[in-house]
Structure 1
Amino acid sequence: MRQHMMGSMIALTALLGGSVQAQLLPGPIGALPGQVTGALLPSLAQGGPATVGSMVDTLGLDRVGEGLDRASLRDLRRARLHALIGANRATLEADENGSPVRRGEVIVLDPSPALLTKVQTVGFTVLRQDRIVGLDIAVVILRAPKGDNGREALVRLRKLDPAGQFELNHIFEPAGSALMATTAALAAGSSGKGHAIGMIDGGVAAHPSLAAARIEQRGFVPGAPRASGHGTAIASLLVGNDGRFQGAARDHALLAADVYGGEPASGSAEAIARAIGWLATNGVRVANISLVGPPNRLIERAVQVAQSRGMTIVAAVGNDGPAAPPQYPASYHGVIAVTGVDARDRALLEAGRAAHLDLAAPGADMAAALPGMGYAVVRGTSFASPLVAARFAVASGDSAARLATVTSEAQPGRGNIGRGIVCKPCRIAPATVGAKK
């Protein structure tokens, strides 16, 4: 087992082939950024202790080679989740499938006053009680009785009220990539409201490509939003504008919901649901979620309500390979599930799976912003998802019309890519912006 895991790690350091130039696509939903030659001088991200090399490694799997198979990816996923829980034992524990959850917390949806009274008589404590603004979902977070873990508390509650809606407070991860919290300054701009695209991720750092962007950020964990490498990269692919680097929805405002606050043990189902509610309240039509986790009743309900109010949710399928369980929210009905392709239009071999797969977009051999200044070579379905979200954002009409418009531009590729590849010209070749590997 140890040798197999070591082989998996070594496989992640093998270099894949370089990027190729993409061609501008004609289409009915607006001009796409093209590719140009030349290079910009990169520099280290400001305000963080990491080197460019270590920062790039946390943004995505940009080096993948032979030996990376389904079993390797499955083992890496298990090891990663185990390590996350082990490093945060005061706040996290595992559910029955090994996924991280908030320790001793149980979510109750739309509980009656009688039920709340009943559960408190058997040892549960009410930690938080509220209605999610924008979604009108009543949520109560219970603390398990002394001596019970979350799994045991869930069993106890279901016996107490078989018709009740109970769930653990799962933790969702950036889709196959580390959060990479940083002390870099947050991106700031004029109000992001008004024809905005939404994202739920880590916080967005200041960067030249985002200097003129209309961005509003809000935190959904205690404390102010905190910049992250993952969130900055996603934001740049959406609304970046810096010479040769052009985001795919750069004329849109951006509402960025930070569900981590710089802490990898954050990203709870509760925080994500509240973030969806904030986006819905502000009239966001399209939201990108490059996060993955197990099925969760609260997230499912939040997605359903947001969709009923006209929001299109686009989500990455993750990078844990086809042997991993289906990932959420990409697997929920109506969510646009996105995988990634490389510069040769090949599906990423590490791409995860969902209950359905809708579209693919560039997810390798491409550049995205580093916190502060400079660009990194990124890889993963995390970075394909915002490109698809951008195409939905610039399309017109209701959800059905936007879906029809975007899928009409899908082009063939190799491997499991759903209905095809969209936003092919959105790939920014690393060489054109001097991106660091």
Structure 2
Amino acid sequence: MLTTSKLALLAPIAAIALLSGDILAPGNMIVRDVLGTGLALADDDDDDDGGNDGNRGSRGSGRSGSYGAGAGWSGGKSLFPFREFLPRRTAPRRSRTAAPAAPIRAPDEIVGLGFSSTELGGLAAAGFELLERNTMASFNAEVIKLRIPQGLTLEAARQQARALAPQAVIDFNHYFRPEQHPDAPCVASDCLARDVIGWPSAQTWPGTCAAGVRIGLVDTAINPDHIAFEARNVEIVRLVDEDLPESGRQHGTAVAALLVGSATSRTPGLIPGGKLIAVDAFHRAGRQDDRSAAFDLARALDLLAGRQVQVINLSLAGPPNLLLEQAVKKAGERGIIMVAAAGNDGPRAEPVYPAAYEEVIAVTATDRRKRPYRRAGRGEHIDFAAPGVAVWTAASVSGARPKTGTSFAAPFVTAAVAMMKASEADLAPELLRDKLTGHAEDLGEPGKDPVFGWGLLNARAICKTKS
């Protein structure tokens, strides 16, 4: 029991604690929140965002008001014997409000293709409003966007529309978003991740490998004035309604520069002499929320097919969508190769689209040590791995910075496909996949696996001149 004299000695310490809110524990550790429900020790959770595949730091027991080991205890003995004399918090702690989840589809729209005039008339009579119709000349189809009748849920409206137009392909107007995560720092003085896979410099490519390369890109807005595009080899087509706010330029600029950035800039592209046709199919719907609807993605694929591109980079992801699936199939039937990001929702997440469609090459990300990016999606649909952690490329306004995410792994495979097609124009998509597979560096389990697919892209053998 504490005597009166001992309490007198402790009083100044308690007073200092009450005024400052801090107490020095042994080892000079500052302990905060003295007046809370318990003493919360300094947080040592090492949440490394560098993309390494190690375990994230964990918060031990007793870090948040617990009176067990770790909360001011050592060997079962309290480090703060005067705790019982300090006042307790009577008001409950405020719970941290979680940010609302981003919507995955338009709230009152359905989309589709293959409607007959009679079916459209029946839909109009049932209260569906025609918002937009667009002829996809390259795919010989017309896509339709409809607003659902008032009083119907989206699911009920989709079911009713399918009943009224049984031959059409109808789905929600799902949203798709760029696939990137907060930038990771460079782990070496040279951020050119391409060195990991032996990507040759612009000076070492055989001439036939860079001739006539024409790449399609569907992404966010791009800064055309960035020095990375001084060769003016990027054509930008904005597809969405001009009345909608322009999407951010960070993602699109970074991906475009990674593909065709000038060889003399700080961000040399994988194919500096290539021609890029970039379709801006995104708009900004809220703070940092760049999105593209399935209706616009289908139109973007049609536009690029009409421009005779041979490969399309899709560093974006979203849920399965029947309209997008049909557009992907039609592009595949024309021999166009599509490359997409595997997604950054984590190894236990459901597959994302368009990467998970059979016609699309799904690309996951690795770091410089050839370890899987810890947030990359996994599954049997994964085809190849490529560098995607701290990839050096253009910043949105000027200069450069490292970028992380499967968005920045996909362009490596896109560039490889473009080079192979440039050197062998008649190479069929299935043979091209076989060649990529044969040259990939097998990582993880032998053969194809859910983490690396067929393995890490090997750029040393992607371009061969004809003998």
TM-score, normalising length from structure 2? 0.66
Q: CA deviation at 1:148?
A: 2.0
CA distance in 2, matches of 1:368, 1:11: 30
Structure 1 residue 141, shift from structure 2 partner: 1.2
Q: Give the direction of change, closer, same or farther, for the CA distance of 1:293–1:362 in structure 2 (3 Å limit).
A: same
Secondary structure of 1:171 counterpart: strand
Q: 2:350 aligns with which of 309, 320, 325?
A: 325
Of 77, 81, 102, the match for 1:84: 102
Partner residue in 1 for 2:128: 124
Is 1:216 the counterpart of 2:238 in the alignment?
A: no
**Alignment correspondent of 2:222:** 204
Q: Deviations over 1:7-50 (max 9, x none)?
A: xxx9795253xxxxxxxxxxxxxxxxxxxxxxxxxxxxxxxxxx
Which one scores higher on RCO, CA 8 angstroms, separation ≥ 6? 1
Partner of 1:297: 322
Please show how residues 106-255 of structure 1 align to structure 2 within 5 Å.
106-177=110-181, 195-205=213-223, 206-223=225-242, 228-241=249-262, 242-243=264-265, 245-255=267-277
Among 381, 399, 407, the residue aligned to 2:406: 381
Q: Does 1:259 align with 2:281?
A: yes
* Distance in 2, Cα, partners of 1:360 & 1:260: 26
- When residues 116 and 294 of structure 1 are mapped into structure 2, their CA distance, relative to the original with a 3 A threshold, is same
Which whole-Å CA distance do the structure 1 matches of 2:229 and 2:147 have between them? 41
- Residue 47 of structure 1 corresponds to none
Query: What secondary structure does 1:245 align onto?
Result: coil
Q: Distance in 2 between matches of 1:322 and 1:68?
A: 18
Q: Closer, same or farther in 2 for the Cα pair 1:319/1:153, shift >3 Å?
A: same
**Alignment of 1:421 onto 2:456:** yes
Structure 2 stretches lacking a partner, 5+ long: 1-43, 59-97, 183-210, 446-450, 461-467
Contact 1:294 1:327 survives alignment (8 Å): yes
Cα 1:128–1:373 shift into 2, 3 Å: same
SS in 1 for 2:150: coil
Give structure 1 stretches of 5+ with no counterpart. 1-9, 17-61, 70-78, 86-99, 179-192, 426-437
In structure 2, the CA distance between the partners of 1:150 and 1:68, relative to structure 1 (3 Å rule), is farther
1:424 Cα deviation after fit: 6.3
**What is the one-letter code of the residue matched to 2:110?**
V
Gap change, CA 1:222 and 1:110, over 3 Å in 2: same
Give per-residue Cα distances to partners, 1:205-233, cap 9 Å, x unaligned.
13222211411111111129766100111
CA distance in 2: counterparts of 1:226 and 1:349, whole angstroms: 27
Deviation at 1:243, TM superposition (A): 4.6
Q: Which has the larger radius of gyration?
A: 2
Deviation of the 1:372 alpha carbon: 2.1
Q: Percent identity?
A: 34
Give 1:339-354 correspondences, 5 Å limit.
Answer: 339-354=364-379
Distance 1:407 1:393, change over 3 A: same
CA separation in 1, counterparts of 2:226 and 2:167? 50
Question: Amino acid of the residue matched to residue 345 of structure 2?
Answer: D
Q: Specify the alignment match of 1:29 in structure 2.
A: none
RMSD: 2.8
Task: Tell whether the 8 Å contact from 2:266 to 2:399 is kept in structure 1 after alignment.
Answer: no
* C-alpha distance in 2 between matches for 1:255 and 1:348: 29
Change (3 A) 1:310 1:15: closer
C-alpha deviations, 1:113-152, integer Å up to 9, x for none? Answer: 1111111111111111232232222212111111223222
1:67 corresponds to which letter in structure 2? Answer: R
Q: Which of 402, 411, 433 is equivalent to 1:403?
A: 433
Secondary structure, aligned partner of 2:381: coil
Cα separation, 2, equivalents of 1:365 and 1:260: 24
Match of 2:48 in 1: 14
Partner of 1:95: none
